[in-house]
């Protein structure tokens, strides 16, 4: 690698064509300029200027080195311009969150990208532990999780909360809900559903609910967008966070059962501690916070 200081001195010398003017521009002495030139020539292994009396001309090697120096200056100007600009519509952002939250978030991100052709967004629906580890490892710029991770290397911000809901077909609205009635319908199971059942059903039916492993299963589905579909068709019941219901296209064919004891999950945005996030990451943080607020108002 050529010495950057010597190279800059030489490019300035080539621009001014004069040792004294170069020294004045760089706040150096004339012998200092000559010393930089000699060191650069030794590094390159060739003469860079040819003396012509009191003036000089660049050798072919000197012209090549000058062009390299000019190109490096241009690259540095572009770099500084990009850093100063921090355009929210330019660059790449990687985000991870739950599948239900992703269903609401992604349409907003699509609208954002439509107006920003130079913006690239990667959204991954992942379990909470994967979101946490991915942000810590730098694989994700931003994550949304259901609790404060309390990690010293993470910046965590509470952005809202959402209700864990018992979902029934729309024609069941207003009816009294018993655990026996739910068992008759059967559970629409999914990967998170068993934990949700232990959390919500044990709270509301402590005398009759004996554990998610003993539920009567009507069907099993692992595609988040399809979990409410059988319920909307009158088949079974299921348990989902509010975001998983609101994102479902057939929302009008579902009802959220009123329960005596309600359960809510917090929503936290997480990012690695360090420099201020880029403008594009801050913008998406704002969108996620808006969505969390909207979900919270529906609780």
pLDDT digits (tens, 9 = 90+) for 43-86: 999 999 998 877 899 999 999 999 999 999 999 888 877 666 68
Which structure tokens are listed for 188?
Answer: 């629409």
Q: Are residues 156 and 9 in the same domain?
A: no
**pLDDT of the residue at 299:** 67
Exposed (0-12), middle (13-18) or buried (19+): which is 71, by Cβ within 10 Å?
exposed
Residues whose CB falls within 8 Å of the CB of residue 183, separated by 6 or more in sequence, listed in order: 215, 216
pLDDT at residue 297 in the model: 81
Q: CA 240, CA 225: separation in Å to the nearest integer?
A: 11
Q: Is the same domain home to 47 and 133?
A: no
- Of residues 174 and 231, more confidence is placed in 231
Domain boundary among 85, 111, 136: 85
58 and 194 together in one domain? no
Residues 219 and 234 in one domain: yes
Q: What's the CA gap between 231 and 255, in Å, rounded? A: 10
Least confident interval from 124-128, 256-260, 280-284: 124-128
- Whether residue 120 is predicted with pLDDT greater than 70 in this model: the reply is yes
Say yes or no: 209 and 67 in one domain: no
- Tokens 């991100």, residue? 109
Q: Please say which residue of 56, 85, 114 terminates a domain.
A: 85
Over residues 174-181, the mean pLDDT reads 91
Q: How far is CA 155 from the centre of its chain?
A: 13
Which residues span the domain enclosing 251?
88-299
Does one domain contain both 93 and 178? yes
What's the whole-model pTM score? Answer: 0.66
Average pLDDT, integer, range 155-182? 93
Regarding whether 269 and 220 lie in a shared domain, the answer is yes
Number of domain units in the chain:
2
Residue 44 maps to which CATH number?
1.10.10.10
pLDDT of residue 52: 81
Q: Which residues pair with 187 in a beta bridge?
A: 217, 237
Q: Has residue 263 got a pLDDT over 80?
A: yes
255 and 138 together in one domain: yes
pLDDT value for 53: 76
**The CATH number of the domain where 267 resides is what?**
3.40.190.290
Indicate if 78 and 107 belong to the same structural domain: no
**Residue 69 and residue 115 share a domain:** no
% of the chain residues with pLDDT over 70: 98
Share of the chain above pLDDT 90, in %: 78
- Whether residues 49 and 104 share a domain: the answer is no
The verdict on 47 and 105 lying in the same domain is no
Confidence of residue 225 (pLDDT cuts 50, 70, 90): confident
DSSP string, 230-270: HHHTT--BEEEEHHHHHT-TTGGGEEEPP-SS-EEEEEEEE
Q: What are phi and psi of 256, to 5 degrees?
A: -95, 120
Return mean pLDDT, the chain: 92
- Given 67, 85, 103, the domain boundary residue is 85
* Secondary structure, 3-state, 63-127: HHHHHHHHHHHHHHHHHHHHHHHCCCCCEEEEEEECHHHHHHHHHHHHHHHHCCCCEEEEEEECC
Identify the pLDDT of residue 128.
Answer: 86
Angstrom CA distances, 212 to 179, 188, 199, 215, 237, stand at 12, 12, 9, 5, 14
Percent helix, strand, coil in the chain, to 5, is 50, 20, 30
Q: Is the pLDDT of residue 134 over 90?
A: yes
């Amino acid at each position: 690698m050529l010495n950057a200081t010597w190279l800059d001195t030489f490019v300035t010398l080539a621009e001014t064509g004069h040792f004294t003017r170069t020294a004045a521009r760089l706040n150096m002495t004339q012998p200092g300029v000559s010393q930089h030139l000699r060191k650069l020539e030794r590094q390159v292994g060739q003469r860079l200027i040819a003396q012509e009396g009191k003036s000089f001309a660049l050798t072919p090697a000197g012209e090549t080195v000058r062009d390299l120096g000019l190109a490096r200056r241009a690259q540095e100007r572009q770099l500084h311009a990009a850093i100063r600009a921090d355009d929210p519509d330019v660059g790449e952002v990687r985000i991870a969150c739950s599948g239900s939250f992703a269903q609401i978030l992604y349409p907003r991100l699509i609208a954002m990208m439509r107006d920003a052709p130079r913006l690239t967004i990667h959204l991954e629906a992942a379990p909470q532990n994967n979101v946490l580890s991915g942000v810590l490892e730098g694989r994700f710029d931003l994550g949304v999780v259901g609790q404060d991770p309390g990690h010293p290397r993470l910046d965590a911000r509470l952005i809202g909360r959402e209700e864990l809901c018992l979902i029934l077909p729309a024609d069941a609205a207003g009816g009294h809900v018993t655990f026996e009635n739910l068992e008759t319908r059967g559970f629409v199971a999914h990967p998170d559903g068993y934990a949700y059942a232990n959390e919500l059903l044990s709270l509301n039916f402590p005398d009759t609910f004996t554990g998610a492993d003993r539920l009567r299963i009507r069907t099993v589905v692992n595609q988040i967008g399809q979990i409410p579909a059988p319920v909307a068709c009158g088949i079974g019941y299921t348990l989902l966070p509010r975001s998983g219901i609101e994102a479902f296209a057939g929302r009008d064919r579902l009802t959220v059962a009123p329960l005596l004891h309600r359960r809510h999950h917090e929503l936290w945005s997480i990012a690695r501690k360090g420099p201020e996030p880029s403008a594009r990451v801050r913008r998406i943080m704002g969108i996620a916070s808006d969505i969390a607020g909207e979900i919270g108002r529906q609780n």
